[in-house]
Amino acid sequence: MFASLPLAYLIPLFVIAATAVWFAGIQLSNTTDIIDSRFGLGQALGGMIFLSIATNLPEIAIVVTASLIHDVGIAIGNILGGIAIQTVVLVILDGFGLRKKASLTYEAASLQLVLEGVLVISILVISIMGTQLPKSVIFARLAPGDLLIVITWLIGLWLINKARTDLPWYKKGRAPDTTQAKSNLSRKKRTKWSTARVLSIFTISSLITLAAGVILTESGSAIATHIGWSGVLFGSTILAVTTSLPEVSTGLAAVKMGDYTLAFSDIFGGNAFLPVLFFPATLLSGISILPQAQNTDIYLASLGALLTAVYIYGLIFRPKRQFFCLGIDSIVVLVMYVIGIVGLFTIA
């Protein structure tokens, strides 16, 4: 439908969808903050479950559609290719969210986030291992790699939830000088909202994110076709940026409220959740998805794991000093990503 539209229609459609995603993302952050407080989930777990899944609704729709029409290349690229760029969203949050205050990893210091980062790397390693299995290894529409990813994700959620109360560390794994005063003040302004209202706003914002996110991706794809961009170039630029807009919006909103842990958990949680989509993709398509991965998909998954490792070190060492309004870990991630994309074009 979008491919037949002229460029003069596609660009305004793209801008409108991006605006809708942006404002819906702000509401998702606000309501997730309240949901975390009302149901006692904590910022890390709430961001990992509610916010990360909601912001990945466009990716879910794309993967489901691609699986039903057996276009597994799009499904794989959307899952593995999006993790690296979503990690780079943390660079944006570091630079434009905190500015000259301190680095994002210094403010968001929490051992729960370290556990989330380890979960992301673990799931990516399993995904890469799954790509090496024969396509014929599938039973009752279930592939071992997909099943192991789901099990690892569920165990990871359980351990992260357990870490909220049972970590034998100072203040349950939180650094001694991190504060959430701004977040608490922001939350108090919305304490008069009923739970029903909060859940309704969250649901409506999620549906807007889903619809506008799909329009954003499809119109972006059509624009890329019009200007002669395709394949890896489109996937690593326009598609990667557009599918990351929900995370940028929710992340900046969370940072503005002072919910630094929530902002970080949104990214790590989304990156851990994306490979879980291989499970429904295999069920819907009837073929083992992971073994269909190309060398570029494996390359981008490895890049995502490498960038995540840098931020894990940042969360542990908590570098406070900034250079060009960025923490040293964000600068390393940005440089690694640029080098990684250059390398991607050499193997594409």
Across the range 86-110, mean pLDDT stands at 82
What's the token pair of residue 329?
Answer: 């870990």
Task: Give tens-digit pLDDT for 252-275.
Answer: 888 887 778 888 888 998 899 999
The answer to whether 195 and 36 have CB atoms below 8 angstroms apart is no
Contact by Cβ (8 Å): 281, 100: no
Range with the poorest average pLDDT among 30-34, 44-48, 95-99, 186-190: 186-190
Relative orientation angle of helices 72-92 and 260-273, to the nearest 10 degrees = 160
Which range (94-98, 210-214, 300-304) has the least confidence? 94-98
* Tokens read off for 72: 């597994």
105: nearest Cα among 139, 196, 95: 95
Average the pLDDT over 300-313 and give the result.
95
The secondary element (H helix, E strand) that includes residue 323 is strand 322-323
Q: Computed from CA positions of residues 338, 54, 127, 283, in that sequence, does the dihedral angle turn out positive or negative?
A: negative
Residue owning tokens 């396509």: 135
First to last CA, the chain: 28
According to the model, what pLDDT value does residue 30 have?
Answer: 77
Q: How many CA atoms lie within 13 A of 53 on its CB side?
A: 11
Q: Taking the model in full, what pTM does it have?
A: 0.83
- pLDDT for res 171: 60
pLDDT digits (tens, 9 = 90+) for 105-162: 888 878 889 999 999 999 999 999 999 999 888 888 889 999 999 999 999 988 888 8
Give Cα 228 to chain centroid, integer Å: 28
Q: What residues have CB less than 8 Å from 338, skipping those under 6 apart?
A: none
Name the helix (H) or strand (E) containing 244. Answer: helix 238-257
Phi, psi (degrees; rounded to nearest 5) at 88: -70, -20
CA distance 159 to 163: 6
Instruction: Please check the confidence at residue 183 and state whether its pLDDT lies above 50.
Output: no
Confidence of residue 170 (pLDDT cuts 50, 70, 90): low
